Structure 1
């Protein structure tokens, strides 16, 4: 036993520290260390093993994770430069909501469960903060600029009609090989060859999740490309057309979109029996915008004063006309009847929790809102409503494409230096 212990000299602590603290990437004025990368690799490996997703080769997985960390860091830097913040109170609210969604009545119990599973709570908090910032950044820089034309809606409905299967739902997995904006013919060909090689592996029986984790540029790559269940209403015409040719378990041919090259796998399909009725909400709101002059805390303070006045008997519509900074102010803040998906997720989520007559406050990328639900109704799916649902579905797909374009532009403007070396 003693010979085993002394067969080789003990590791030099300074060398160990140097390996742990070595820089694997420089991103503008920040760095990613070997320790941070290794931590993230361990986290992703645990997630993939829990999902029973076969692991890609270690060097491929490490590179994928590093690319994701670089992209996340560039987004965080941009958010900080543009004044986007998530304070601790907002973070606490988000974590409480996550705890409740996971059937934990209190955050302290949720924290105990995370730590039992080996997840550091402080790191978890910062990951959630980063996710919220990323979501708000996307809403501000991408979703708020979406334009969907009537002709796009017409084409979508026509393609959906041809595809048939109203109410069908599909469980899909997806691989995306990105083509950079204004890419040269050589870069387009390189992306095509990468996608074709992935498709060749899949046709030869390779595991889709493993190939996706190693090849895909989509945000869901490290989840094996799993998109979960999607109603045909929430799929782009490009995918719907290809799905007509597939049986469960089959993989599509290569598809080209403005984002790049796509491959999808139909995991399962089922009859969704989409409901004939849609719940609409009639609401009104008061908006206090945030800016460099009016920080979040001040906007919230002003809104809470308005809320108190209304609770003490002031007329909501009059307060909206006087104080709201939204285009609906002159209508007393009236937003008319709203369809699901017609407002940003944070607004809709807060509105959906209110019973008719109740008021509540929430924050979006536009500022602080005071919302009042006036009434709700179930209404038949008319042609107008079908078109609105089509707009929502088109918006989901276009949003993802525009988001990928925006990320590429952000990445192109950043200084990135790789210092990744094989671990000894």
Structure 2
């Protein structure tokens, strides 16, 4: 399977970031950051110290202070003496990662003699779209940043790294990824098998311990984030800025998950939570989760199937020869069709065979002859010819889910698997870059 996917140069995380800039940030936080000795907000042209060196590329204390301001403005978290160190750490990690990304992209541009890094024109187009999305023109948008103590170049460089890195990862690896029919079927089968298990609609923040400096640092950071969200910081804004999960760009929204999909530690916490509740930090092997439980539902006993059929009309008084001839035609149809996708096309060239969509129904509500087939067939399979009072039928099971459960199409499952694989590749790529780099913090 390798269906076309919608690919855009726009940074989803950047667009959400712009919305937060336009709606949040009272000027008070700007004064809260400036006095901190860890990240003095030096102005351009004044003396600056070195905050870090990444393969001989300097990150100044001014760069760090600006990124802290941007992070605070977009996270919805008010800075305090207790959490300012976390802002500094996250800002520095982001700057180091972006330096490594740009360095790698410049190397690839030289090696492959292609343009990868986003141009100034692309950045201006991105900023104009951000401004428009917030009901401003370009100049008003820049003025709103300046009013919050954020230089436009700080936002530009973050967006440049995001756009360029996403383009490179998709270009280098996206076309090589293949999500097979067997993978999609395996997910469908797991969903059907999990129909009786509890289901949870969640949003998540995942703090990657490898990225932030170890399990204890990840746990402490998660504890501070939980405290801030309990005081009113928006979960979605926190997820966009602090989460290492692929769901970060969507504000941490992971949709409906079934018991067994998340790590065992998260499953155990979800069992004890109520809808509307925010979890405490949940340590797992590679980091720490924070979960917001939006809704919860018990596993459904009923199973819903989506069916198509190909049929030959036969009265109950049909002769044995007529039944045999119809059976032969439908058996030939089964050899031509591979499943729901081409059932109608296969039937179109066969005289007397009519194919169509039967829609969704609970298995218990089907006619007995159809019920047995729907229960035993897996998604994508075709039944043997089934005799009813109306004729002879071949059923195709196009989908199977728990009543009331999320009904994902094959395309949706494929795109989800594709996104997960691409996210995993990007994380491994960054881990390798960090491991091979010379990074010195001051």
CA contact (8 A) 2:72 2:78 kept: no
Q: Measure, in 2, the Cα distance between the counterparts of 1:236 and 1:397.
A: 17
Structure 2 residue 56 is matched with structure 1 residue 33: no
**Shift in alpha-carbon separation, 1:235–1:121, aligned structure 2, 3 A:** farther
Match of residue 84 from structure 2:
58
Superposed CA RMSD in Å reads 4.8
Give the TM-score normalised by the residue count of structure 2: 0.50
Structure 2 residue 131 is matched with structure 1 residue 99: yes
Please state how far the C-alpha of 1:139 moved relative to its aligned partner.
1.8
Match of residue 151 from structure 2:
120
Match of residue 411 from structure 1:
434
Question: Deviations for 1:105-150, whole angstroms, at most 9, x for unmatched residues?
Answer: x433433444444433344333332322122123234444434344
CA contact (8 A) 1:174 1:265 kept: yes
Match of residue 100 from structure 2:
74
* Local SS of the residue matching 2:59: strand
Question: Deviations for 1:248-289, whole angstroms, at most 9, x for unmatched residues?
Answer: 3253895757xx244241242389xxxxxxxxxxxxxxxxxx
Q: Measure, in 1, the Cα distance between the counterparts of 2:229 and 2:78.
A: 12
Match of residue 229 from structure 1:
253
Superposed, 1:189-268 pairs within 5 Å as 191=215, 220-221=241-242, 227-232=251-256, 237-238=261-262, 242=267, 245=271, 246-248=273-275, 249-251=277-279, 260-268=286-294
Question: Deviations for 1:141-193, whole angstroms, at most 9, x for unmatched residues?
Answer: 44444343444333322333355599x8834132333459xxxxxx9xx64x6
- Name which of 371, 393, 399 aligns with 2:416: 393
Give the TM-score normalised by the residue count of structure 1: 0.52
CA contact (8 A) 1:21 1:34 kept: yes
* Local SS of the residue matching 2:409: helix
Match of residue 184 from structure 2:
153
Q: Measure, in 2, the Cα distance between the counterparts of 1:237 and 1:98.
A: 35
* Unaligned residue ranges in structure 2 (runs of 5+): 1-41, 110-115, 234-238, 298-396, 401-407
**Shift in alpha-carbon separation, 1:52–1:196, aligned structure 2, 3 A:** closer
Match of residue 71 from structure 2:
44
* Unaligned residue ranges in structure 1 (runs of 5+): 1-15, 181-186, 213-217, 272-380, 420-424
**Shift in alpha-carbon separation, 1:92–1:121, aligned structure 2, 3 A:** same
**Shift in alpha-carbon separation, 1:42–1:111, aligned structure 2, 3 A:** closer
Structure 2 residue 141 is matched with structure 1 residue 110: yes
Q: Measure, in 2, the Cα distance between the counterparts of 1:207 and 1:114.
A: 23
Q: Measure, in 2, the Cα distance between the counterparts of 1:220 and 1:123.
A: 15
Question: Deviations for 1:51-110, whole angstroms, at most 9, x for unmatched residues?
Answer: 558775333432232122111111011112222232232222222222222233x43343
* Local SS of the residue matching 1:269: strand
Q: Measure, in 2, the Cα distance between the counterparts of 1:95 and 1:40.
A: 17
Aligned residues: 278
Q: Measure, in 2, the Cα distance between the counterparts of 1:99 and 1:71.
A: 26
**Shift in alpha-carbon separation, 1:400–1:100, aligned structure 2, 3 A:** same
Structure 2 residue 167 is matched with structure 1 residue 136: yes
Please state how far the C-alpha of 1:24 moved relative to its aligned partner.
2.0
Q: Measure, in 2, the Cα distance between the counterparts of 1:102 and 1:165.
A: 44
**Shift in alpha-carbon separation, 1:238–1:157, aligned structure 2, 3 A:** farther
- Which structure has the greater CA radius of gyration? 2
